[in-house]
Amino acid sequence: MNNSTYFTYGTDYGRITIVSNGEAITQIKHEGKLKPDGVKEETALIKQAADELSEYFSGKRREFDVPIKLRGTDFHRSVWEALMTIPYGETVTYKYIAEMLGRPKASRAVGQANNRNPIWIIIPCHRVVGANGKLTGYDGGVDMKEKLLWLERGKK
CA dist 152 and 31 (Å) reads 22
> Residue 146: enclosing H or E segment and its boundaries?
helix 142-152
Residue 78 has pLDDT above 90, yes or no: yes
CATH topology of domain 74-152: Arc Repressor Mutant, subunit A (1.10.10)
Residue 156 has pLDDT above 70, yes or no: no
Which has the minimum average pLDDT: 34-43, 54-63, 72-81, 93-102? 34-43
pTM for this entry: 0.91
Residue 155 has pLDDT above 80, yes or no: no
Q: Which one of the listed residues 97, 125, 128, 148 is annotated catalytic?
A: 125
**Where do the structural domains in the chain lie, given as residue ranges?**
5-57, 74-152
Identify the sign of the CA torsion 128, 131, 134, 135.
negative
Beta-strand pair 92-93/128-129? parallel
Task: Indicate if 9 belongs to the active site.
Answer: no
pLDDT of residue 1: 47
Q: Is 148 exposed, middle or buried (0-12, 13-18, 19+ CB in 10 A)?
A: buried
